[in-house]
Structure 1
């Protein structure tokens, strides 16, 4: 499948959670930064880690998996967000990790184009609904933290 088809599938998967999918598509198209707000807690929650730990965790996941689930990077606060199954945010306990679930909204960049915004995809959604397993994410976080401590 080419990149355009993958981007279309990713768009469809993401806008499916929007209260008004057509309005979400318009928002992505009209905004120069290419972002829209989407509700967490429907198809996915987001676990948000400090940037250094988040990028190190993603490196560990990439060594373990063919493809991790979607991952966002935000520049304002240097954060990395892993899309995980819905309900994870309500059960997550972890120092320094923010959990966004039902009742929260996430700034999401368009998956098929590079925006000028402060959020980008480190791992773009593929449209299949693939998410990061929270248990595997926790193990990867521990390994990443240990590696960072050693450095």
Structure 2
């Protein structure tokens, strides 16, 4: 199944909702909020249950394709405001940031936003209302891979680094020097 051409919207399971709520300092309050407004996006802190790697959506698609085609797959993934949000192990964000700065071949990887402890991210609604274009959930992002388990598998920094480098290498023109320009004078 191609996760990109799916017409139905992913919904967060009850177990996945519990996992997301565990990121909050007040999980019961978060679940009460979702009970009252399941179509509303939420802001959750990183560093406790997960970190998040935010990348441009097209590059994010290539990274996810790499993770699924030749790697271990991935845990929850969201799309929000033109970005792909990859949920990763707590502590992976600062480590990935350091690895990308250190590795010479990571220069082909577009800038990633690595959200870890002390950061917060906006996550899509746990459910969507199936209404028209004026629905309150319109434009609030969506789950590409919705949280389904109480303890989902989350990739670590080295797995994400590997997928990013492979995705960047498969980008048309990556690693190919530019053609020399001949200038003729008059």
TM-score when normalising by structure 2: 0.68
CA distance in 2, matches of 1:91, 1:53: 20
Matched, 1:106 2:121: yes
Q: Which has the larger radius of gyration?
A: 2
* Separation (CA, whole Å) in 1 of partners of 2:146 and 2:72: 14
Distance 1:66 1:103, change over 3 A: closer
- In the alignment, is residue 122 of structure 1 matched against residue 144 of structure 2? yes
In structure 1, distance between residues paired with 2:166 and 2:155: 16
Question: Larger strand proportion, structure 1 or 2?
Answer: 1
Query: What is the RMSD computed on CA atoms of the aligned residues?
Result: 2.2
Moved segments of 4+, more than 3 Å: 29-33
Query: 1:107–1:119: 8 Å Cα contact kept in structure 2?
Result: no
Per the alignment, residue 26 of structure 1 pairs with 32
Structure 1 residues 32, 122: closer, same or farther in 2, change over 3 A? same
Unaligned 5+ segments in structure 2 are: 1-11, 101-109, 129-136, 175-186
Quote the residue 2:85 is aligned against: 81
| Equivalent residue pairs, number | 143
- Unaligned stretches of 5+ in structure 1? 1-5
Aligned mate of 2:162, from 130, 136, 139: 139
TM-score of the aligned structures, taking structure 1 as reference length: 0.82
Deviations 1:89-147 (A, max 9, x none): 22222350111111111112244x23434221111122223112321221111121122
| Alignment check: 8 A CA contact 2:24 2:44 kept | yes
- Secondary structure of the 1:122 match is strand
Aligned CA distance change for structure 1 residues 67 and 139 (closer, same or farther; 3 Å)? closer
- Equivalent position SS for 2:118: coil
Q: Which is helix-richer, 1 or 2?
A: 1
Q: 2:80, 2:124 within 8 Å by CA — same for their partners in 1? A: no
When residues 108 and 92 of structure 1 are mapped into structure 2, their CA distance, relative to the original with a 3 A threshold, is same
For residue 172 of structure 2, what is the aligned residue in structure 1? 149
Show the 5 A alignment for 1:35-114. Answer: 35-65=41-71, 67-75=73-81, 78-93=82-97, 94=100, 96-111=111-126, 113-114=127-128
